[in-house]
Structure 1
Amino acid sequence: ETYFPDVPEAEIPTNWQMKHFYQREYTQVEKIKSRASQNSYNKDIRPLTGTATMHALGPGSRFEIDATIADIYVVSDVNRGWIVGRPVVYIVIDVFSRLIVGCYIGFENPSYVAAMQALQVAMTDKVELCRQYGIEIESQDWPAIGFPDAILADRGELLGYQIENLEKSFSVRIENTPPFRGDAKGIVERNFKTLQADFTPFAPGVVTGTIVKKRGGKDYRLDAKLSISGFKEIILSSILYHNQYHVMKTYDRSADMPVDLPSVPLELWNWGIQHRTGRLRSAPEEAVRL
């Protein structure tokens, strides 16, 4: 009546008629899309018709890389009275096997430089890295050495002319996620929660809830006792445990996998190297650094 005052009242559809028209003319998907933004629909609502593993033939088919700020405050190695902040943790993971192939821990904001340091670890031998923090391993304990076919990363970190050397010199395809689509790297995102769960129950200085200190309340940052070196040792130990012993109950196994093959990252990696992709392409460590 407000918009079309000249229409006779007998011709104005009733509420029931409007509901019937709405239900008949629009699908459930169209109704949901009209109530949510495009980004929100793609990220949280859209139906999933496959898994990340479907797009990975074997080890090295695709690596995912992402960064997060750790839920803990750490102190300086030089003076434990100095609170140096919350470290940034980069993780690189193989999509096929879920093996964590590389990491980097520092205080730089997520950037190209920090991401490349994590990728350097992913593409080289990790024995010496672990030895620096008092962890003795053999190469077969963390066997990921070499270049993947593709790397999936956030836009910005591996976007632009800086990454062209990696693409051209080593034939690595760089894939960037759409804006506001952290779910596109769901595998590496989930592993952050797993790694942090290993130290949050007992480590002092853990961030719980809001980081804003309530008036008159205790500043939990002052509880920080763990040094940055100690934190790196914990993360490396957690990665090794994940790779060697973590059983994935929801892993998307393919039909040709043996029934007795455990759904453990290291086991899947070794099986995939033998039966799927073979050894990854490698280069001298100095070339990787450049």
Structure 2
Amino acid sequence: EQAFELLHRHEAEAPNEVWQADHAQLDILIFDSNGRAMKPWLTAALDDFSRAVPGYYLGFEPPCSMRIAMTLRQSIWRKEESAWSICGIPDKFYSDRGTDFMSKHIDQVSIDLKFELLNTLPQKPRGKGKMERFFETVAQLFLTDQPGYAPKGYGKVDAVLKLQELDERFR
């Protein structure tokens, strides 16, 4: 089984054929709307073919189907930024088996938008390396340069930015 999976990995052959999605809590302290220092969550979609990011959602709410829907909404529509040209509806949407991705809400979104939901096999999250690499890149090349960067074991860190400011910098 291991040898077969290593030899027959699937890769998309065109843009918007397969999008992957996942969530990650970011190692940065920022202020929420009540002035509390908190670590935000990033939900992102990634085009399997180009590895471009068609959309994301940055906020304090923990992973849920609404975050995924908001990420899809941004992913599908054209962006105001002319350099951010990726948009459309994927043929397939690949994710892990989290309850938020396996929800009736996301099932209905896929039916309405006519894309196929694909989930990792139970206990075998193969194929998610591209998403994990994206989150590592965000951590290594973006967060390390932001005030409030607070990886585990980093010591005392103060929040400086608000969510909107972090979003503007991330975009």
Q: Report Cα offsets for 1:79-103 as digits up to 9, x if no partner.
A: 7xx2330000011010011111110
Using the size of structure 2 for normalisation, the TM-score is: 0.86
Within a 5 Å distance, the mapping from 1:199-214 to structure 2 comes to 199-210=142-153
Specify the alignment match of 2:170 in structure 1: 235
Within a 5 Å distance, the mapping from 1:275-286 to structure 2 comes to none
Aligned residues: 168
Specify the alignment match of 2:117 in structure 1: 174
Contact 2:41-2:61 within 8 A present in 1 as well: yes
Aligned partner letter, 2:110: E
More helix by share: 1
Q: d(CA) in 2 for partners of 1:230 and 1:180?
A: 38
- The secondary structure found in structure 1 opposite 2:143 is coil
Using the size of structure 1 for normalisation, the TM-score is: 0.53
- Structure 1: runs of 5+ lacking an equivalent: 1-41, 128-136, 212-218, 237-290
Q: Quote how far apart the aligned CAs of 1:189 are.
A: 1.2
Q: d(CA) in 2 for partners of 1:104 and 1:178?
A: 25
Q: Percent identity?
A: 26
Match status 1:73 vs 2:73: no
Q: d(CA) in 1 for partners of 2:104 and 2:144?
A: 42
- Structure 2: runs of 5+ lacking an equivalent: none
Q: Quote how far apart the aligned CAs of 1:227 are.
A: 1.6
- The secondary structure found in structure 1 opposite 2:93 is strand
Specify the alignment match of 1:225 in structure 2: 160
- The secondary structure found in structure 2 opposite 1:110 is coil
Contact 1:73-1:83 within 8 A present in 2 as well: no
- The secondary structure found in structure 2 opposite 1:145 is coil
CA RMSD between the two structures: 2.1
Indicate the larger mover: 164-173 or 59-68: 164-173
The correspondence for 2:92, drawn from 128, 150, 158, is 150
Contact 2:93-2:116 within 8 A present in 1 as well: yes
Aligned partner letter, 2:161: L
Q: Quote how far apart the aligned CAs of 1:182 are.
A: 4.2
Q: d(CA) in 1 for partners of 2:126 and 2:43?
A: 17
